[in-house]
Structure 1
Amino acid sequence: MTTKFEELKTRFPNLIPVQEMRANVSIIELAVHYGYEPQAHKGLSRPVLHHPTHNDTIIVKNPQDPAQQIYQRAGDFSDSGTIVDFVRNRLPTIFSTFNRPGQHEFRNITDVLYDYLNVDPSQTARNRQAVEVKSDPNPRQTFTKDLLDLRPLEPDNYLLKRHIDPSISNSPEFSGKALTQVSYLNKDTGRTDDFLTVQNNPAGRYVAFHNVAFPYYNGHSPEVMGFEIRNDNLKIHAPGSDRYASVFISNVPPKPQHFVITESVLDAMAHKQLRAIKGDDAFDTVYFSTGGQLTSEQTNTISRYISSLDKSPDWKITLAFDNDTKGHQYDLQFVQQLVANHLPITATVTGLGRIGYMLPESEKYQTHRAAILDRLSLYNDNLRAQFSPLANDPAAVKELSSQLINVAQKEGQIAIHVPQTGPALQAVSEVILDVAGVRKRIGFDKSCGKDFCEDLKRQVEKAQRMPYAIMDQNGTLMYESKSAATIQRIMKHLEFQHNGPNDTVTFKAIERQSNGFHKPQAQVSIKEGQTISFMEQPDFKRKVQEEKGELSPQKNSNIEERNEGLTSTPNKLRPK
C-alpha cells in the first residue's frame, strides 16, 4: 500500500507544504502512535488523551478534520495550538529521538511529521480507530454579528455596578468600545433566542436582558471576530467568537507610549480609572484584553498590532495580568514568546504543578544560559535561606522542595522546571527579560488585590469609610480621616511643623468621591520653611464649620466665596 508520504511527494516533489502536512497528519493519530491513551470516559466530541509516562493530558478540538485540529494541554492554555505546536512543545520528551542538537527546530518538527507520513497505512488506520470520535451535538457556530442585538452603551449599564465611571467608558480609549447587547429569553422554551429569531417571531414572549459587550479582533482584518459579554453572573463570549487568536483592543492614540495587557476589559477600564484617580489622564495608552486566557496566537495578535503602530520612541509593554498564580503564568508565557527572537527558550512538557522550558542549545547562547542558571541558582539559595531555620521539619523540607526551580540536563540540553507559584514564575520572567536585554521595553504592573477591578472596588469602599485624606507632592498617602475638621487640623500642624530651611514640600487634602476620584479640598505649599500659600475650598471650610457646630447647613449659602473658589492666605499674613 502507498503511504501518505509517497502520495504527497508525487504532488510536491521538492517540499511538502506545512498546510498539507497538517491536513494529512491528525494530532489524535500521532498522539496514539507515540503512546497516548484515549480517555473514553472523559471526551465525547472532543477526545481526551493521556500519556502515562510523561503525565501529559491533551484535549483535541475539531477531531474529524485534521486540517482544523487544535489541541490544548489540560489546564494549560500556554500549551496549545496546531500539530506543529504539539510537536514543538514535546521535542525534548515525546519526540526526543528527532530532537537533534544543532539542527533547526522546524526541521526537527517536520522530521516527526515526515516519519509519521511514512508509517504503514494499516498502522495509521489502527491509530485512527483507537479513538471513537462522536459528532458534536453542539457544533461550533460561525460568528455572525447580525445574530446579536447590539446598541450604543446605555447610561444605566453593568459597568456602573463595577464602579467604572462614565468618564472612563466615554474616554478617548474606550469610547465606542463598550456596547449594550440585549439577550432574549424565550418564556415558552426557557432558552435564549438569537436576534434574527426574535425579529421573525413578533408574537413571541420574551424577557430581555441588557448586557455589556466588548468587540474582539484578530489583527488581520478590521472586522469584529467576536464579543465578550458581561453582566451579573454572566461572563461569556458570543457564539462563534474567535477566542483562539482574537483580543480586545482599545482606541489607539496618535503615537502610543504604553501598551497595557490585561485579562479582561473590565480590568483595563479599572486600570485606566485608577490612573485617572492619581491624576494621569493622558491619552497615550493602548489597552488589550485576552478574555480571561492567553494563547500563543493571542500573543502573536498583540505583537502584530504593536509592531504595526507608529509608536513613541520610549514605548513600553506593560503586562497587567491578574495578581494570582495564573496571572504570573501568563506573564512568563508572554515574555517567553515575545523574546523568542532574542532568546529562543521553548516550552516543554513537565510534571504536574510545574511549567517546563528548554534553554537554547546553540553555542552563541552560552553566555545567556550561564546567566539564567546563575540567577535561578541565586533564587533557590535565597529560598533555602528562608527555610533554613526549619531544616529539621519534614513538612518544611517538602514545602521547600515544591518551591525550588529545578534544572534538568539530558543529552546536552538544559531544561528548567518552574513551580506554579507566583514568586517562582515572576523570578523566571524577570530573569528572561534581563538576560534577553529587553527590560526597558517590557514591564509588569500588578494590582494590590487579585485584579484591578478589586483595587478600584477598594478605592470606592475607602471613600465610604475614610472620605478625607492628605497626600504629599508625590501622591504618597500621609493621613486619612472621616472628619474634615481633623484633616484641617492636621494640615495646619504640617504647615507649622515644616519650618526648617530644608523643608520644601506640598501637602494636599482631598475628598474621595463615590467613584473613587479625588476632589481637591485644601493645599499648603512650603518653600525653605516658609509658607507660600495655604488654600481651602469653600465647601471644605463649610464642612469643617458644620462639624464644629459653628455653622448650620441652612446658612451655607451666606458664605462668601473668594479668590475664584479658593480661600488663600499668603505667608506674610501667616507668621510662624
Structure 2
Amino acid sequence: MTKFDELKERFPNLIPVPELRANVSIIELAVHYGYQLLPRKGRTRPVLEHPGHGDRIIIKNPKDPTQQVYQRAGDFTDSGTVIDFIRNRLSTVFSTYNHPGEHEFRNITHVLYDYLRIDPEQVSQNRRPLERVGESVAVKPFTEALFDVRPLEEENYLNRRHIAPETIQRPEFKGRIFSHVAYFDPSENRAVGYMTTKVHPEREYIRFTNVAFPYYNGKSTEVVGLELRNDKVKLHASGSDRINSVFISNPPLKVKRFHVLESAIDALSHRQLRSIDGDQAFDSVYFSTGGQLTRQQVETTFRYIASFNKVKDWCLVLSFDRDAKGHLYDLQFVQRMISDLFPVNPITAKSRRIAYQLPEEERYHTVREGLLKKIEAFNDGGTLIEVNQVGGSVRISIPESSAALAMVSESLLTLTALHHRVKIQKPRMKDFNADLTQEVELGKESRYVIRDESGQVLHNGNLPRQMADLMLNLREVGEGKVETNKAYVLSERLPYGFLSPQVEIVIEQGFVVRATQTPEFSQRMKTEV
C-alpha cells in the first residue's frame, strides 16, 4: 500500500495540507526529481543541487518534514515549505504538472499526490540521503553575559581599517561599538569561554581583543548577537541571531536618510567619507546586515524605519557593495518596497539567474508594460533578460550581473514613482571601506588636493606654490564669464583622509565673490624650497 492509499483511507475527500507536508519531505521530493546532495556543503542544514537547472537549495529541519523549510542559495525570496518549493518550480522542475488552465494549487497537489503514489521501495531510496545528514545540534540562544564585552579600546582594529577615532565618537556610533576579549589556555592548547576564565582565575590565559558590533532584532532593546572583527577574525559570536538581526546606529531626533550596507565597517567608512566631503549633519541611521541578507533582516530593517520619527522627504539609501551580490540585495529590498504597488513573485530560475512572475491584474498593466519596454531596450538585440509568456502570466529571468540587476531595480523604482523614496548609492570601488582606503592612500602620495563645488578632484600635488598657481589659473579662466558659477577649494590632506581647507575661491556670474587663504599656507609658500 502506498502512502497515498493510507491517507485516502483517513481523508476520503481531500488530504489536508498539514498532512501533505508531514508526509512529503522536501529532500525526498527533490531527490526524486533529480536533485543531488552536496555532503560537503552542510550537514545540519543539507544542500542539494539540480544539475540540469542549476538550482541549489538549503534545507532547515531536515529530519522533521512538518517543520521543514528550504531556501534557494543566494536568494531569500525563493524559500518556504514544500508547497512553496513546488510553486516556485512549476515552470522548471515540475513543468509537466504546470497546466495554465488549472488553478495553481491544483497543479501543486498533483505533484504531491503523484509522489505519494510511488512505490514504497522508491520512497526508501529517496530517503537514503537523509542517512548522511547529521542530527541538528541545538544551538544555545545568545546570552551577552557569556562574553567578555568591554568599552571599545582607544587603539583598535578599526584604526587599521582607516576609521578615525572622531568617526567612532560621532553621535551615530558613540556607545554602539565595543571590545570583545577572547581567551586561549596554553596549558590545554585551546580557546576557552569567558565563563571558564571566571571559574579558573588562577590560570594564565593569552588574550585576544576583537571589535564587537551588537545586533538587534527590532522587537526589544536586548542584544541578540555580536559580529566580531579583527585582522584574522570575521565571525558572529556563538548563538547570535544572524537570521533576524541587524547592526543599527543611534538615531537622530528626526531621520532624513536610512543607509543599509553589508558591514558595519562600511557604515563607519560611509559616514567618514561624508565628513571628508564636509557633511557633518547628524541626520541618518546606518544598518548593517553582516555580509548577508535574509528576508527577516529586510523586515527587521523596515520595522525600525517605521518606528523612528522621520522628516517628510526621508529616503532609504541602499549602499551595498559594487558587485552582483550587492545589486541582488538592492533588488530584494526594492521588491519589498514596491510590494503594494507592483507585487512580483519569485520563481525558480536557471543557474546564476533569478526569476520573477509579474502580476497579471489590469491595475498593474502600466507598470508591467513599462518594465517590459525597458527590458526590451536593455536587451537591444541580444537576449540578456529573458521574458516568457506562460499562459496568461509573464515571467522574467534576470542574469546575476550588475548591469541587468541594476536596470531592473532602477526601472521598478521609477515606474512605481518610488525613486524619490529609495536611492541606490554605490561606492566607487568594491565597498565604502575601499573608497576610504583610497582616500587615505592618496594622502600619502599627494599632500594637497583641489576640488570643485561638486567634490570632483581636479588636481593633486605636493608643492604649495604649484597648487596655488593652479588655483590662480582656475580663477582666471572663470573670471569675466557671466555664465561661470564655480567654487574651488585647495585642501591639505590629513590623517584618516580628512581635509583641511587652505585656499578657497568662489565665482558667481563671472565675479569672484570670495577668495581666502590661510596664514599657514601663505607661510608654506614663502618657505617652499
TM-score w.r.t. the length of structure 2 is 0.88
Per the alignment, residue 573 of structure 1 pairs with: none
**Secondary structure at 1:172's aligned position in 2?**
coil
Q: Tell me if the contact between 1:263 and 1:290 (Cα under 8 Å) persists in the aligned partners.
A: yes
Per the alignment, residue 151 of structure 2 pairs with: 152
Per the alignment, residue 547 of structure 1 pairs with: 528
**Secondary structure at 1:258's aligned position in 2?**
strand
Describe the shift of the 1:310–1:117 C-alpha distance in structure 2 as closer, same or farther (beyond 3 A).
farther
Q: Tell me if the contact between 2:183 and 2:205 (Cα under 8 Å) persists in the aligned partners.
A: yes
Q: Following the alignment from structure 2 to structure 1, what is the Cα–Cα distance between the partners of residues 200 and 89?
A: 52
Superposed, 1:360-399 pairs within 5 Å as 360-381=359-380, 384=381
**Secondary structure at 1:357's aligned position in 2?**
strand
Describe the shift of the 1:96–1:219 C-alpha distance in structure 2 as closer, same or farther (beyond 3 A).
farther
Per the alignment, residue 314 of structure 1 pairs with: 313
Deviating more after overlay: 43-52 vs 227-236: 43-52
Displacement of 1:318:
1.0
Displacement of 1:171:
1.2
1:517 aligned to which of 498, 503, 517: 498
Q: Tell me if the contact between 1:38 and 1:131 (Cα under 8 Å) persists in the aligned partners.
A: no
Describe the shift of the 1:363–1:170 C-alpha distance in structure 2 as closer, same or farther (beyond 3 A).
same
Displacement of 1:322:
0.3
**Secondary structure at 2:279's aligned position in 1?**
coil
Per the alignment, residue 260 of structure 1 pairs with: 259
Q: Tell me if the contact between 2:353 and 2:400 (Cα under 8 Å) persists in the aligned partners.
A: yes
> Which residue identity does 2:161 align to in structure 1?
R
Displacement of 1:41:
6.7
Is the counterpart of residue 472 in structure 1 residue 452 in structure 2? yes
Q: Tell me if the contact between 2:88 and 2:348 (Cα under 8 Å) persists in the aligned partners.
A: yes
Deviating more after overlay: 469-478 vs 517-526: 469-478
Per the alignment, residue 280 of structure 2 pairs with: 281
2:428 aligned to which of 445, 448, 451: 448
Describe the shift of the 1:6–1:224 C-alpha distance in structure 2 as closer, same or farther (beyond 3 A).
farther
Superposed, 1:400-479 pairs within 5 Å as 404-479=384-459
Q: Tell me if the contact between 1:87 and 1:109 (Cα under 8 Å) persists in the aligned partners.
A: no
Q: Following the alignment from structure 1 to structure 2, what is the Cα–Cα distance between the partners of residues 212 and 345?
A: 40
Per the alignment, residue 216 of structure 1 pairs with: 215
Q: Tell me if the contact between 1:21 and 1:113 (Cα under 8 Å) persists in the aligned partners.
A: no
Describe the shift of the 1:430–1:505 C-alpha distance in structure 2 as closer, same or farther (beyond 3 A).
closer
Is the counterpart of residue 132 in structure 1 residue 131 in structure 2? yes
Q: Following the alignment from structure 2 to structure 1, what is the Cα–Cα distance between the partners of residues 169 and 283?
A: 16
Displacement of 1:177:
1.4
Q: Following the alignment from structure 1 to structure 2, what is the Cα–Cα distance between the partners of residues 87 and 351?
A: 15
Q: Following the alignment from structure 2 to structure 1, what is the Cα–Cα distance between the partners of residues 248 and 322?
A: 21
Describe the shift of the 1:374–1:529 C-alpha distance in structure 2 as closer, same or farther (beyond 3 A).
closer
Q: Following the alignment from structure 1 to structure 2, what is the Cα–Cα distance between the partners of residues 9 and 518?
A: 75
Displacement of 1:52:
4.4
CA deviations on 1:158-195 (whole Å, 9 max, x unpaired) are 11011111121111111111110111122233332111
Per the alignment, residue 247 of structure 1 pairs with: 246
Q: Tell me if the contact between 2:256 and 2:284 (Cα under 8 Å) persists in the aligned partners.
A: yes
Per the alignment, residue 333 of structure 1 pairs with: 332
Describe the shift of the 1:530–1:82 C-alpha distance in structure 2 as closer, same or farther (beyond 3 A).
same
CA deviations on 1:135-166 (whole Å, 9 max, x unpaired) are 35865343221221101111101110111111
2:478 aligned to which of 498, 515, 522: 498
> Which residue identity does 2:221 align to in structure 1?
P
Per the alignment, residue 553 of structure 1 pairs with: none
Deviating more after overlay: 450-459 vs 284-293: 284-293
Q: Following the alignment from structure 1 to structure 2, what is the Cα–Cα distance between the partners of residues 8 and 148?
A: 52
Per the alignment, residue 232 of structure 2 pairs with: 233
Q: Tell me if the contact between 1:47 and 1:59 (Cα under 8 Å) persists in the aligned partners.
A: yes
CA deviations on 1:495-518 (whole Å, 9 max, x unpaired) are 344331614543322111111111
Q: Following the alignment from structure 1 to structure 2, what is the Cα–Cα distance between the partners of residues 369 and 137?
A: 44
Displacement of 1:230:
0.5
TM-score w.r.t. the length of structure 1 is 0.81
> Which residue identity does 1:484 align to in structure 2?
P
Displacement of 1:215:
1.1
CA deviations on 1:506-554 (whole Å, 9 max, x unpaired) are 3322111111111111223445544444322122122222214xxxxxx
Deviating more after overlay: 515-524 vs 113-122: 113-122
Describe the shift of the 1:193–1:104 C-alpha distance in structure 2 as closer, same or farther (beyond 3 A).
farther
Q: Tell me if the contact between 2:94 and 2:111 (Cα under 8 Å) persists in the aligned partners.
A: no
Q: Following the alignment from structure 1 to structure 2, what is the Cα–Cα distance between the partners of residues 151 and 123?
A: 59
Q: Following the alignment from structure 1 to structure 2, what is the Cα–Cα distance between the partners of residues 108 and 301?
A: 34
Displacement of 1:81:
4.9
Q: Tell me if the contact between 1:54 and 1:349 (Cα under 8 Å) persists in the aligned partners.
A: no
Identity %: 43
Tell me which structure has the larger Cα radius of gyration: 1
Which residues of structure 1 form unaligned runs of 5+?
385-399, 549-576
Aligned residues: 525
Deviating more after overlay: 48-57 vs 350-359: 48-57
